Amino acid sequence: MQWNLEQLRLFVSVADQSSFSAAARQLKRVQSAVSSAIAMLEADLGVTLFERSSGRQPVLTAEGRALLDEAREVLRQCERLESRATSLVRGEEALLRLAQDEAMPYQPVLASLQALAHRFPLLEVQLASGAQGDVARKLLERRADLGLLFHHEDMPEALERQRLGTIEMVTVCGAGHELAGKDYADRRELARHRQLLMAPQGSRYPGGEQISPLVWRADSFYAMAELLMRDLGWAWLPSHVAQYPAYQNHLVELASDWTPPPLVVELVCRRDEPLGPAARWLGECFAEHLKG
């Protein structure tokens, strides 16, 4: 087949305008050139696209109606190709791989991703969520370009980090736990009951202080919440995790004499791989939505 994109553009324009002359004016062509291009397209495709009667506007045939949407889609694909190429020339990424701690507050993250889709409509995004340590590991192994995680002291030197905001921590137990019936639980009272902490022991996350001799550890705040719902201890959780709809009426926030400092949310990337425009823009968007 010898048809070309110019013929498809003329075909769509004539169909939209219901007129060879109007299409010619819109695309700044002479009418004879438009008529000739449509005739050649019909010959290449082996179908008649328009019914032509003297003194009447061209009307799409059944075959023309069937092929019109296909022609529009081919033209849209070409526009996407040209736009993607232009983005690459400007240095914009074709793909952005984001890894996040699964306990990130989901509303700010989703709001930022929604804004990214509008700002960079052709960008492909791969989103991965994982428990503690997964985000840094993906970055180190070059399986992610950008990471969202909670600050801890043992960050690998190969990673660059930027503070975005903070998240409040709360002291929590299950609704059926012995502590749930107390108006106040000081450190001595908390120490009498099993404490759930983030793993591993050397993670040095905020809220990682052991004050009870009996400890269970998990690598996920959501896993800890599931254990709390079964009255297996008490823990410090990010406030949005404790307030997650699935945990309502199952977890109780405790008044206590000490709560860990807020979790610090950080944007992380590799030092040896500068971020592209989309990644930098998304980082600024995260910072706006995670202010604290």
- CATH number assigned to the domain comprising residue 178: 3.40.190.10
pLDDT tens digits, one per residue of 14-57: 888 888 888 888 888 888 888 888 888 888 888 899 888 766 78
In the predicted model, what is the mean pLDDT of residues 210-232? 93
Note whether 132 and 273 are same-domain residues. yes
pTM (two decimals): 0.62
Per-residue confidence at 243, pLDDT binned at 50, 70, 90? Answer: very high
> What pLDDT is stored for residue 233 in this prediction?
96
Average pLDDT for 62-90: 78
Give me the torsion for CA of 27, 29, 30, 35, rounded to 10°: -70
Q: Do 37 and 176 fall into the same domain?
A: no
Q: Is the pLDDT of residue 285 over 70?
A: yes
Give yes or no for residue 202 having a pLDDT over 70: no
In this structure, what token pair is assigned to residue 245?
Answer: 């709809």
Burial 216-232 (b: 16+ CB within 10 A, else e): ebbbbbebbbebbbebb
Q: How far apart are CA 242 and CA 177, in angstroms?
A: 15
Is residue 174's pLDDT more than 90?
yes
Is a pLDDT exceeding 90 seen at residue 77? Answer: no
Give CA angle at 248 (237, 260), nearest 5°: 15
Same domain (yes/no): 208, 285: no
Alpha carbon distance 261, 179 (integer Å) = 22
Note whether 268 and 146 are within 8 A (CB).
yes
Indicate whether 91 pLDDT > 80.
no
Structural domain boundaries, residue 49: 5-89
Is the domain of 84 the same as that of 211?
A: no
- Cβ atoms of residues 2 and 44 within 8 Å: yes
Q: Could you tell me which of 151, 142, 163, 162 has the C-alpha nearest to residue 263?
A: 151
Q: In this structure, are 153 and 269 located in the same domain?
A: yes
Residue where a domain stops, chosen among 67, 89, 111: 89
Q: Are residues 268 and 257 in the same domain?
A: no
Question: Three-class SS string for 226-266?
Answer: HHHHCCCCEEEEEHHHHCCHHHCCCEEECCECCCCCCEEEE
Do residues 109 and 56 share a domain?
no
Does one domain contain both 216 and 256? yes
State the chain's mean pLDDT as an integer.
86
Q: Is 220 helix (H, G, I), strand (E, B) or coil?
A: coil
CATH number for the domain including 18? 1.10.10.10
Looking at the structure, tell me whether residues 151 and 272 fall in a common domain.
yes
CA distance 235 to 196: 5
Same-domain pairing of 119 and 191: no
Q: How far apart are CA 210 and CA 96, in angstroms?
A: 38
Angle at the Cα of 164 (from 107 to 258), degrees rounded to 5? 85
Domain boundary among 35, 58, 89: 89
How many angstroms separate the CA atoms of 231 and 219, rounded? Answer: 18
Integer Cα distance of 182 and 27 in angstroms: 78
Q: CA torsion 252→256→260→263, rounded to 10°?
A: 30
Share of the chain above pLDDT 90, in %: 36
Write down which residue in 38, 56, 89 finishes a domain: 89
Domain shared by 21 and 85, yes or no? yes
**Cα–Cα distance, 161 to 155 (Å, whole number):** 9
Instruction: Give CA 3 to chain center in angstroms.
Output: 40
Q: Is the pLDDT of residue 80 over 80?
A: no
The residue ranking higher by pLDDT, 202 or 210, is 210
How many domains, the chain?
Answer: 3
pLDDT of residue 187: 92
Which whole number is the average pLDDT over 244-264?
90
% of residues, the chain, pLDDT over 70 = 92
Per-residue confidence (pLDDT) for residue 87, from 0 to 100: 52
277 in the same domain as 204 = no
Residues contacting residue 84 through CB under 8 Å, at least 6 positions apart: 94, 122
The answer to whether the beta carbons of residues 208 and 235 sit under 8 Å apart is no
